[in-house]
Amino acid sequence: KEKPMSELAAPVVFYPQVLKNVRVKSKPDAQNDPDVQKAVEEVSKALGDSGRILVRESGTEPVIRVMVEADTEEICEKYVDSVIEVIKAKGHLEE
């Protein structure tokens, strides 16, 4: 049965999103750092089914992109900043 697009799209939920770019010395070193990976896993667990985190390397510049979608922009900012703090604490930021 055909349905109008508004009915099909009704269950889709849009979450606030925060994306920050972090200039790093080495993208693989920053992304593969066990403490950075642990921080990302902790955020993912904390968000559960109410959001998501994505940390990836830029393909064109020495940057790691940290993105969080969650119920509020404040939650997004908090978790993005927490991962960036670990990247910074581990000495991966480019001076």
CATH superfamily of 13-89: Alpha-D-phosphohexomutase, C-terminal domain (3.30.310.50)
pLDDT digits (tens, 9 = 90+) for 29-52: 999 999 999 999 999 999 999 999
pLDDT digits (tens, 9 = 90+) for 52-81: 999 999 999 999 999 999 999 999 999 999
CB atoms within 10 A of CB 53: 22
Rounded Cα gap, residues 73 and 20, in angstroms: 13
What global pTM score does this model have?
0.86
Give the strand pairing for 63-69 and 52-57.
antiparallel
Rounded Cα gap, residues 76 and 50, in angstroms: 11
